Structures are given as structure tokens and as C-alpha cells.
Structure 1
Amino acid sequence: MLKFTRLAGAIAATARSAASTAATLGLLGGALSCAQAAVERIEIRERVPFAAGASFAEAGAYEKIRGVAYFALDPRERANASIVDLVRAPRDENGRVLFSSEFVLLRPVHGKPTTLIYDVNNRGGIAMLGQINGRSPANNDPTTLADAGDGFLMRHGFSLLFSAWTWDVAPGAPAARPLIFTPPVLKGLRGRVNNEFTVNAVSDIATYAGMRGLTYEPATSNDPHAQLTKRLRPEEPRRPIPRSSWQFVEPAQAGGPGRIRLEGGFQPGVIYELTYVARDPYVAGAGMAGIRDLLSYLRDHPLEGGPVPKNILMFGISQSGRLIGRMLHDGLNVDEAGKLVFDGAYLHVPGAGGSAGFNSRFVQPTRHPSMLEEHDYPADAFPFTAAPTRDPVTGKTASTLDNARDRQGRLPKLFIANTSTEFWNRGASLIATTPDGVQDVAPPENVRLHGLMGAQHYVGRSRTRAPFTACVSTADHYTTMRALVLALDEWTSQDKAPPASAYPGLNDHTLTSVADYRAVFPKGVGISPPGQNLREPRLNFGWRYQRFGIADTVPPKQGAEYETLVPLPDGDGNDMGGVRLVELQAPLGTHTGWNLRAAETGFGWATSRFDGSFVPFARTEAERLAAGDPRPSLAERYASREDFAAAVRAAAENLIRARLLLPEDLERTMASNLGLYDRILQRDPADQACNYLFAQP
């Protein structure tokens, strides 16, 4: 439990307002060449006590430092060769490419070395605090005690760093402070871009950018040569919509994503795609170089009187985890001096790993393919596994870590975790099998894989079924995330053996085809499995793409699909293999990684992008027989509430022994599972609402 005490004035001597902190630190000291450090200087704009000086257990009080890091990259450096179009970017008189990035640092004020965790922001927003501490900071600006959530990361003494790395972030609320990157621009260059989108309801006007994102707008205003197409299924031919029947319209707010108006309106159940010529592409890969070089500097140089970190970790959720995957793939985890910039990384729910996207001309980082959306955007491509595998189509052998070693041959230590949902909607099996899905591929010694079975992309929070068919899964994998964060720190800083990999596989018969899944899944549960999962094709953008990151074929040609598999369900419909969360060891119902879209959306064949399903067991034998449910009832499984509590405690203790749950989270786990048990017993089975999943405020 947090020990909060006010330390009035404890940091006041070091705090300064933005107006009085225009101090600029010279970071190169004149002694280092550009080949040894790409950060030229840091400007501190704010330094204040965090949470008004509250104390977080033994870690004590924290401070917040907000500033801007200024970078200068030499395109001739070997370490920068993988950054697409860097050699074409504008340069200063010394031949360097200049850019900057805003950052925020939260750190203890005790002045002792700590583990620094770099949280890769997700679409401009701080992500780690929401899932690990249980509270996303208001306005994306951690300031108050409430912004610390339950204070987990602070109580354990971590320093937390956030910075801007991507440009395609749509404007938010007026008071919000997203971290938005301004990359170098290639003025005058042109190229085709495509924008795939759908609507959930009939609408005259639609936005064509990605989720909460921006896109490259047409080079020519209201481009008369732009093309709008439609199709009902991803595999169907695109049908052109006459140019005379639609028009570009102004964004809903200044700087927001572009929009178009269609005569007769956009319809649910239709996949639309808008293609045109854009101009002035960004050097998007510079965002990854900025992360690399900021960490490289902080690894070796004290900032504002504080010590250098004893350990550096990276953490990323979803898009942010995929970004770490791309940094490893491109060798951007190694700085210009040939040193690792982070000791370990935790890639959370990256699906197939993210070895594509983020670093090509006209790339749109916010987009990624799922079963329904954005099929032609690069997000995942061979290689997928950390150990070498062979692509039977191309004949190429490679791994995701081929370029990730430092000059001494060392690699960072990695945790990669996916939920059940990523197996259905993000190709998660590919990080543990050959591309043809025929054999398991064991991870190397520096990598551990964890499948969080029964969980969905994030802990379910929707209280309605729409626009899907089932209530969401509320299996709590955030507690396991907390345990993995501490385990990664111990593995990298103390060389303490990490939790063993636990991932569905072919050898133990816990990974299977969708057809086999459908055959085994219990009938009469009230939900039926999808007919397919996401099967990403090999995308051909033209001969220049693989070598130079320049797409000449837009949309790309689709080649053979990678073979993606799903976890095998048990007799209750719960996934086998991987990490069996408490909700699966002491189940109250069926948790799946999929949730079908409602027929009225027009895409009844497709799954939710991020959500799974939950269907509770019948309360009694009589209810079970009346419903024709083949799963044993709660009364058959647990003679009393005390029996269920004992089952939950035993399951939690199993995870604690495996170091996948922390003792401090035992009571949280007990309370959440017992609370759901009580609400299921009080629920009228005829009530199809999903409110019973959540404790009433």
C-alpha cells in the first residue's frame, strides 16, 4: 500500500518554472565527435515536484522534468544506414540532419541510481501508467497524485521516460499534451498513398485516416485524379466509385485528419479505399533514432545533477511494442558507438512482432492490419521469430535479431507477451512457429514468450455488446504484466533467471487451425467461433521497397499468406497452453480471444480488432439443462463461495510460484474474482446486458 506523505519544500530548492528554465545543457562537452553521440543538447523547460511531493514507500518523493532533446544525425554513419531516406534529408553546414523531440522524465529525488524504463508512447499518449499503475495521467501530463494510480512503478523505484517519436497523431482535447514528433521532411518528393477505412453507421462524411491518426494529404487540393473504391470483403476486387460522386471536405478541426463526402452516404459493411498522390514525406525512422540516442546519452551522462541509470529497459504496448520490434529488426537498439542502448525490453501484445512498418517512405505508423481493417499496410513481415527460420516461399533464412547485436555480440533480453486476441487478429502464432505453421521455433536464450490465455488486447471495459455480439472478456492480465516488469528488471540487472516461456505450441498440441478450433469448441455455449483468423499476405510494394523502403506499387500486390494458428480450446472453450491466468484455472465461464461483429455492422464475418468474449457458466444444474449448455454449472464446480475462493487462491499461488503474479497483487486478484462470482449469482440469465461484469462505483 502506498505510503503518501507530504514533503513540503523537499524539492522546492531544485524546482523551477518553465519561464526560468531556459538553461541549455551542452551534452557533447566538445570532446565527443558526432560519431559518438547524436544528442547535441537538452533544453529543460520544466522541473517540478511530482504529485506535490508525495512519498512512494521506500523510493520517496519524485520529480517531473520536461524538456526537449536536440539531435544531429550523420547519414554517413553505419549505425544510421537503416533509416530510410535519411541520406535525402536536409542537412546543416556540417552535413548532419537536425531534429528534436520533447520528453518527460519522472524520477526519484533521492539521487541514487535507478532502473530507467522508457515507455514508448502509443499514438502520442503515455501508455504504461494506465495498464501497470491503473491510471492514465490526465491530459497526458503526469502531475498529480491521482495520475500515479496505485503508484506501483514509483513504489518500486523506477525512473520513467517518455518522448515523442511519431508524427501521425490527430489533435485531441485543447488541454491535452500529446507527445508528437516533427521529423525531417523531404520537400518536393511525391508518391502514392492509400487509405483504407470503414464506417459503423450510414454517414455522408467519413474520415479516411487511421485510428486516432493523421495521413498524408493529397499533393493537389481536391485532387481530381484521386480514386475511391469499395468492396465487401478484403479478397474481392476493388470497384471504383465515380469521381463526380464524392468530394474532399475540410477537416473537422484545424490540423485534423482529412475527410470526404459521398453522395448517398458511406454504408456499413463496405471497405472503402482512397488513393492519391501525396508529397513531402517525413523521415519517419528518425523517431526511432531519437529514442536510441536519447537513451544512449542518458546511459552515460547525468541529467540535471541526477545519477546515470543502473539499468535501462524499454516497454511498449501494441503499436509501441511493434515499434521496439522494428528497432531491433533495423539495429536501432545499438548506438553510433556500437553499444546497446537498453538492457532489456518488454513487447506487450505486438501480435506477429512488428518487424515491418515505421521506417519507409510515406509510412503511416498508426495503421496496422486486422481481419477487417487496413489490409495493405506494412506492420508484420518475415522474419517473425527471434531464432532463425526459413521462409519457404522466398527461400530466405533470417531472424528478428540479425541486426540487433552490439559490437561485442551482445543482445538485449526480451519478454514478448500476447493475449488470446492477438492469435485471432494479429498473427501471434508466427513469433513461435515457422512461416508455414508446420513446426515450433524455440526462442533463443535471451528471449521469453508468454501467451496470456483467455485475455484480450486490453482488460475489457465495454458495458455493451454493440457493435459486437458478446460481452467482452475481463480476464485481468495486467497483474501478470506487473510481475513481468519486475522479472525483466531482475533478469537484466541481477542476472536472476526469468519466468520460463509459456506459449501455445504445436509440440504440446495447444496450437491448431481455425477449422480444428471450430470442431472442438463446445456447442450450445451461446456464441459460435469465427470462420477465420487474420492471415496476413506477403505484400509486394515493388522492387525498391525491400532495399530502399520506397513503395512503387500502391496498393501493394498480395502474395501467399503466412500460416497463422490459434490456441486449442478445452472442454469449457477456454484456451489451452501458455500462461493460464487465474480466470482460466478457476473459471466462472468461457473467455475467448475473439468477439464477432454484429450483423447490422455489415461485417458479421469479422472479429473485433481488440476484444474477446465472456460467457458465464450456468448457475445451477437446472439452468444448465434448460439452456442446453454442455459446460458444468457453477454449483457443480464449486460447492460454496468458500470453495470458489479456495480455488482462486490456489490458482493465484500457482502463478506466484511461477513468478507471473506478485504476492502484493493476491488480494486484488481475490477481490476481483469473488466480486464477479457474486455478480453472476445475482444476475438474471435472461439479462443480456454486460453491466454485471463490472463492480458498481
Structure 2
Amino acid sequence: MKRRLALLAAAAAVASAHAAVERIQVVERVPFAPGVSFGEYGAYEKIRGIAYYALDPKAAANASIVDLKHAPRDKKGRVLFSSEFVLLRPTAATLTTLLYDVNNRGNIAIMGQVNGRSPAQNDPTTAADAGDGFLMRHGFSLLFSAWTWDVAPTAPVAGTPPSRPLVFAPPVTKGVKGRVQNEFTVNAPADIVTYAGMRGLTYEPAKANDPHAVLTQRARPDDARRVIARSAWSFVAPELAGGPGRIKLEGGFQPDTIYEVSYVAKDPYVTGAGLAGIRDLLSYLRDHPFEGAPAPRNVLMFGISQSGRLIGRMMHDGLNVDESGKLVFNGAYLQVPGAGGSAGFNSRFAQPTRHPSMMEEHDYPADAFPFTSTPTHDPASGRTASTLDKARDKQGNLPKLIYANTSTEFWNRGASLIATTPDGERDVAPADNVRIYGFMGAQHYVGRSKTRAPFTACVSTSDHYLPMRALIVALDDWTTQGKQPPASAYPQLADGTLTTVADYRAIFPKGVGITPPEQNLREPRLNFGPRWAMDGTADQVPPKHGDDFETRVPTPDADGNDKGGVRLVELQAPLGTHTGWNLRDPGTGFAWATSRFDGSFVPFARTEAERVAAGDPRPSLEARYATRDAYAAAVRAAADKQVAAGLLLVEDVERTLRENLGLYDRIIARNPADQGCDYLFAK
């Protein structure tokens, strides 16, 4: 009898552990990249399905999900919803690492940056969609699912299949109202504009063309808002069905102006349910054989930018631990998350597509204290906390984490805060389960713009996708074999590689042709009222501002290239100055502000004669590398150094040599009088 009761108890425990996933429906199962064999892992397949969830609002594991308790429930008291998912995996039944890629605004992100090809129509199908097959050749099973709702529809392109974004339909809190606000700018005069976030949707007014809505304007973020007469503007229907609303202004909207519209909205989504859906899908697949394949040997998460910040928020809210108290991922890679993402994503009227920049979204809560993985004290609030305070499983284990930012995030997304005190005065060492990397001289994504506009300089060309590939493999080895990844490498105050903007401007070489910004993005302290910390409800919209958190930037060397951090091949064997910032062109407004995502590149003069004529203080290519072969040798030596450090894979050495030699040849062939940016890219 005791044995029978024990078996029944064990069965009940297993059932409760996966109560959140009721069932999974497979709607498509087809070969991926038919005819292609990816090394030792062979052929891959694509499984498209729908996961159905049931969340218990009374469960302790769901207590942090804002407004879940107010959502509609079934007869059993559960909140029901579903999400679409896509799984790419080897067809052979083998133990692999399941790598969950947090989609970015509905789009698969990891394949574009790591494999070198974003799937056409967001639907990975063909050999071309596999890019160079890196993730498949290394045996990863890739999982993508819908988690966010605020993705704007796109117009169909004639002659091509429709795109298939992964968009989530979350539970709705009916009858609830609240004030929301949206900031927006324009690059050129316009009569009608969209006021939602980047490629996103927003909550529309509860009352059509709300007569009590307020539109304001100001020149700088800290300037007083000036109200625009309500009679001078009106709400306009979306351009596309289901798209974001728009505003029409008499006399039109103008550059160099920050606009803000606020109004009462209704029926907020339970946006945090999307995070719980990720948690529970991973929990289910971690423990269950699925469609003929065994459960994975390892589960990892990966996110780029917005998606990386979402991982940060999951850990901040303890949503990386399932209802049974187990970690749902063993490791995570947060790529370019800036200050880490300990805010946003899980509050009433949350809009995940939004995040702050120098010019807009100054009042959206994308990041907030705590920022560091070990406890720090915030004198302003009196709190001592870390980002991982709620991230441990019931045994006290934490996932192994990689945070990687580029130079651009130090300028535009508060990246220094993940490793300093809130006042920016002292370094804070990462926790033992955390590695931090700074890809110096790189921008948010590898540069691809062939024009200067709407900025003043050509974009940075540094390829930080190559160390990303090495670190993904390192994270897998760390979580499966206990093999230590490369030591953290990021700018720090103690060694002088992290500094103030004022010092940066004083050190940066004069005569290069670009002038550093007057400021970087300073993370604001936002006060939304007393209920914000308790249940994610904003009573003060726009929020009140306290003193900003202090953010620092990497220190430049004599060439203007950033010190410290991961020394990319492009900085060890430089062809010019790579910065993490790029100032806006005065013609598009906000000449004092930096690009949200782009850095700058200014090549060295080809010869000493050209250098002297231009007044350039940086030694020329001729002075640095006597011949093309000498440059090639410098690149190979730098690549070998990166390989030894674990920051470049042997398979990628020839690629980095090819990329850098190609740029060298194009600089040599370029007429210095040509101010275009085409030369940055191979034809």
C-alpha cells in the first residue's frame, strides 16, 4: 500500500510539474533544407506546432505575472492561452542541445547573425535559409515561439509568400483602464505619423479620437513639455488593418522635436504570460521525448537586444524556474542587452517593442535597478539587490550566463551599469556563474548601411558575430562539460578602460574627421507611483524623474579605438577608427544625439603624404603595414590570438582574414575625396 501511494504521489508530482502545458499540437512536419547534410548531425527537419497553456493564478510560480489574477479563467480557475512555435532539429534521434532563440519583434534573430542568413518570410525552409549552417553543423536543435503581441503587420510584397511572424495572443484584462504615453520623432517633415514603438503596436485610446488626449512637444528630453492645442491635431486610422494608429497635425510634425501623446487606454494584455509561455514550453520539452526524439541533453536560451533583455526580465521575476522549482534553461546568452533588461515586459500596459534612445522613449521602463549579477546598494532607493535574487531553483542553482555588449551599448543603452555601482564610481565583479564581454569598436549589429544619412559618418564594419559563434559553443561546453569559458573581458574603471564622456572627448584624437558626442544615454530613475513596485501598475504617467544612474563609456586609445574588453581582430590589426557612436546629421534633427544602433568608421590615410595633407594624427596604413602581405600577417596573428583566447573558432579564421583583407583592398583602391560608404562592402 505504501509503495502504491508513493507511486501515485510521484505521478502527481510529474503531472503538476507540467500542468502549465496542457497539450502540444503539431501542424507541420517537413524536411528543413532538403538534400543538405549538416556534418555529423546529418539532415534536419522543421516542426511547426501550437502549445496550449493553462496557468494557475494562485500558484507561487506565477505570482510575479502582472495582472494574471485579473485575466479570464476557465471552470478550473486557470488562465488559458496558446502560442505557435517552430522547431528545427536533426532527424536522427540523438541527444542534442535545445537552443531557444527569443524572437525579436516576431522575427527569428539568431540565424541571421550566427548563420549569416535570416530565413525568408521568417519561415526557415530552404538550404539558403540555413546560411552557412553553423548552428546545424554544431548539432543545436533550434526552438522559436511567439511571446509578444505588439508586432505591427507589414504590407505584402507582390510575388513573394507572406511573412510568418511569431505573434502572441495573450490573455486580456477586460474593463481595466489606465493612462499610457508614447514618445516619437520624425526625420523629415510629415503631416501624419505613427506614434507606436519601433515596428510595433501600442494601446489605442479607449475612446475614439479621445478629446481629452494630450499632445506635447519639446526640443530636449529634460525640457518642459509644451501642450499642442487639441483642436490642431486628431487621431487617424491605421495605414494597414490591425496596424498602429496615427496622428495628423496641422502644419505637420517637424524634425528636432520630441513629441509625446498621452491618453486613457483600456483592456491591457497580460504580457507577462508570454514569458511564462517560454518558461513552460522549455520545461515541457526539457523532460519529455517529443515526436520520436529523446528529451534534450541541455537547454540554452539566446536573445539579441530586446530579446536579450527579455531573458534578463525572466530571471528578475523568477520566471526562469518552473512550477516544480527547476531551472528551465541551464545557460543563457544575452547579446547586446545594454543595461540588462530588469524592467519592461511584465507590467500593466507593457509594450515590449519599446526601449529608450537618446531622442525618444525616455519614460519607458526598459531598465531599472538592480543591474548587476552580484548585490549592489542603491543610495537613492535604499535597496541592496542583484538581478539574480529570484533566479535560483529550489536547490539554489543558477543558470550560467553570458552578457555581451558592443561599444554602442555603452553609448546608447547604459551597458556600463551591469558591472558598476549605480553611481558609476566602482567596478562590481560579476557572479561566478556570469561572464561579461565587451566587443570593442563594434556597433549594435554588424554595419550594413551604404550611406551616411541620417548620420554624419559611415558605419562601423567590425564583425562581432564571429566571437558570438565561439561563445555560443563555449556556453554549451560550460553547461554540459563544466569547461570554463573565456574569462570576462569588458572595460573597467580600475584599469582606466572605462571613463566619463568628458574624459573620452578630451582623449579622442583631433583631426580624424568626426567629433565625439556631448553625452551618452543616461539611464533615468523613473517613479510611476506607489503601485508600480507592488503590482506593475503605473499611477504616474508620464513618470516622475529622479537623478539619473551614472553611465560610463570605453576609453579611447591614440587611434580613437576603444581600450579594454574583447580586442576584435579589427582593433588588433586596425584599418581605421571604429567607434560605438555616430552623430545624427543636422538635417534630420537632433544633431547633439547619437544613432540608436550605429557606430562609426574612419579609415586611416593610405600613405604618409595623404595623412600629412589631411592633418590626420593617426599613422597611415603605409606606416603600419609595409605591404599587403604584412597586413595579412598582422590579421592572422590577431586571429590566432583570438583562437587561443577562445573568442574565435578555427573554422572562422579564414573568414576573418578574407573580410579584413577585402576591406584593406577597398581602402587602398578608394579615392580619399570620395565621401561615400560603398567601399565598406564587397560588391
AA aligned opposite 2:418: I
1:158 and 2:140 equivalent? yes
AA aligned opposite 2:122: N
Write the deviation string for residues 254-302 of structure 1: whole angstroms up to 9, x where unpaired: 0011101100000011100010000000000000000000000000011
1:108 and 2:90 equivalent? yes
What TM-score do you get using the length of structure 1 for normalisation? 0.95
The corresponding residue for 2:6 is none
The corresponding residue for 1:10 is none
1:202 and 2:189 equivalent? yes
Alignment of 1:368-407 (within 5 A): 368-407=355-394
In the alignment, is the contact (CA less than 8 A) between 1:169 and 1:213 conserved in 2?
yes
1:87 and 2:69 equivalent? yes
Write the deviation string for residues 133-156 of structure 1: whole angstroms up to 9, x where unpaired: 000000000000000000000011
In the alignment, is the contact (CA less than 8 A) between 2:559 and 2:618 conserved in 1?
yes
Question: Is the partner of 2:84 in helix, strand or coil?
Answer: strand
Instruction: Find the aligned partners of 1:525 and 1:467 in 2 and give their Cα distance.
Output: 20
In the alignment, is the contact (CA less than 8 A) between 2:17 and 2:322 conserved in 1?
no
The corresponding residue for 2:457 is 470
Alignment of 1:422-441 (within 5 A): 422-441=409-428
Write the deviation string for residues 489-539 of structure 1: whole angstroms up to 9, x where unpaired: 000011101110001001111000000000000000000000000001100
> Structure 1 654/31 Cα, relative in aligned 2: closer, same or farther at 3 Å?
closer
The corresponding residue for 1:313 is 300
The corresponding residue for 2:101 is 119
Shift of 1:35: 5.4
Question: 2:546 aligned to 544, 552, 559, which one?
Answer: 559
Question: Is the partner of 2:445 in helix, strand or coil?
Answer: coil
How many residues are aligned here?
669
Shift of 1:452: 0.2
1:342 and 2:352 equivalent? no
Higher mean displacement: 139-148 or 365-374: 365-374
Shift of 1:470: 0.1
AA aligned opposite 2:30: V
Instruction: Find the aligned partners of 2:439 and 2:421 in 1 and give their Cα distance.
Output: 21
AA aligned opposite 2:134: F
In the alignment, is the contact (CA less than 8 A) between 1:37 and 1:297 conserved in 2?
no
Shift of 1:37: 2.9
Instruction: Find the aligned partners of 2:673 and 2:132 in 1 and give their Cα distance.
Output: 37
Question: Is the partner of 2:525 in helix, strand or coil?
Answer: strand
Instruction: Find the aligned partners of 1:285 and 1:29 in 2 and give their Cα distance.
Output: 29
The corresponding residue for 2:567 is 580
In the alignment, is the contact (CA less than 8 A) between 1:114 and 1:310 conserved in 2?
yes
Shift of 1:384: 0.2
In the alignment, is the contact (CA less than 8 A) between 2:300 and 2:331 conserved in 1?
yes
Shift of 1:128: 0.2
Instruction: Find the aligned partners of 1:302 and 1:53 in 2 and give their Cα distance.
Output: 26
Write the deviation string for residues 446-484 of structure 1: whole angstroms up to 9, x where unpaired: 000000000000000000000000000010000000000
1:280 and 2:261 equivalent? no
Instruction: Find the aligned partners of 1:415 and 1:186 in 2 and give their Cα distance.
Output: 35
Instruction: Find the aligned partners of 2:476 and 2:619 in 1 and give their Cα distance.
Output: 42
1:444 and 2:431 equivalent? yes
The corresponding residue for 2:242 is 255
Alignment of 1:196-235 (within 5 A): 196-235=183-222
Instruction: Find the aligned partners of 2:580 and 2:155 in 1 and give their Cα distance.
Output: 32
In the alignment, is the contact (CA less than 8 A) between 2:107 and 2:165 conserved in 1?
yes
Instruction: Find the aligned partners of 2:351 and 2:364 in 1 and give their Cα distance.
Output: 8
1:351 and 2:338 equivalent? yes
Shift of 1:118: 0.1
Instruction: Find the aligned partners of 1:360 and 1:114 in 2 and give their Cα distance.
Output: 35
Instruction: Find the aligned partners of 1:110 and 1:200 in 2 and give their Cα distance.
Output: 52
Instruction: Find the aligned partners of 2:262 and 2:554 in 1 and give their Cα distance.
Output: 37
Instruction: Find the aligned partners of 2:297 and 2:50 in 1 and give their Cα distance.
Output: 23
The corresponding residue for 2:131 is 149
1:366 and 2:353 equivalent? yes
Instruction: Find the aligned partners of 1:138 and 1:246 in 2 and give their Cα distance.
Output: 39
In the alignment, is the contact (CA less than 8 A) between 2:190 and 2:252 conserved in 1?
yes
AA aligned opposite 2:259: Y
> Structure 1 492/447 Cα, relative in aligned 2: closer, same or farther at 3 Å?
same
The corresponding residue for 1:171 is 153
Instruction: Find the aligned partners of 2:15 and 2:633 in 1 and give their Cα distance.
Output: 63
Shift of 1:601: 1.1
The corresponding residue for 1:5 is none
Instruction: Find the aligned partners of 1:345 and 1:53 in 2 and give their Cα distance.
Output: 32
1:268 and 2:255 equivalent? yes
AA aligned opposite 1:380: D
In the alignment, is the contact (CA less than 8 A) between 1:53 and 1:62 conserved in 2?
no
The corresponding residue for 1:3 is none
Instruction: Find the aligned partners of 1:252 and 1:90 in 2 and give their Cα distance.
Output: 31
Instruction: Find the aligned partners of 1:190 and 1:34 in 2 and give their Cα distance.
Output: 34
AA aligned opposite 1:279: K
Higher mean displacement: 520-529 or 386-395: 386-395
Instruction: Find the aligned partners of 1:438 and 1:656 in 2 and give their Cα distance.
Output: 34
Structure 1 gaps of 5+ residues are 1-27
Structure 2 gaps of 5+ residues are 1-9, 157-161
Question: 1:99 aligned to 81, 101, 116, which one?
Answer: 81
Write the deviation string for residues 567-596 of structure 1: whole angstroms up to 9, x where unpaired: 000000000000010000000000000000
AA aligned opposite 1:532: Q
- Aligned CA-pair RMSD: 1.0
In the alignment, is the contact (CA less than 8 A) between 1:37 and 1:337 conserved in 2?
no
AA aligned opposite 2:44: Y
In the alignment, is the contact (CA less than 8 A) between 2:18 and 2:280 conserved in 1?
no
Question: 2:120 aligned to 127, 135, 138, which one?
Answer: 138
Question: Is the partner of 1:41 in helix, strand or coil?
Answer: strand
The corresponding residue for 1:529 is 516
In the alignment, is the contact (CA less than 8 A) between 2:18 and 2:284 conserved in 1?
no
Question: Is the partner of 1:546 in helix, strand or coil?
Answer: helix
Question: Is the partner of 2:546 in helix, strand or coil?
Answer: strand
AA aligned opposite 1:421: T
1:332 and 2:314 equivalent? no
Shift of 1:54: 1.7
Question: Is the partner of 1:681 in helix, strand or coil?
Answer: helix
Higher mean displacement: 519-528 or 387-396: 387-396
Write the deviation string for residues 192-229 of structure 1: whole angstroms up to 9, x where unpaired: 00010000000000000000000000000111111100
Shift of 1:373: 1.6
Shift of 1:53: 3.8
In the alignment, is the contact (CA less than 8 A) between 1:314 and 1:342 conserved in 2?
yes
In the alignment, is the contact (CA less than 8 A) between 1:34 and 1:74 conserved in 2?
no
1:43 and 2:30 equivalent? no
The corresponding residue for 1:22 is none
The corresponding residue for 1:129 is 111
Aligned-residue sequence identity (percent) comes to: 76
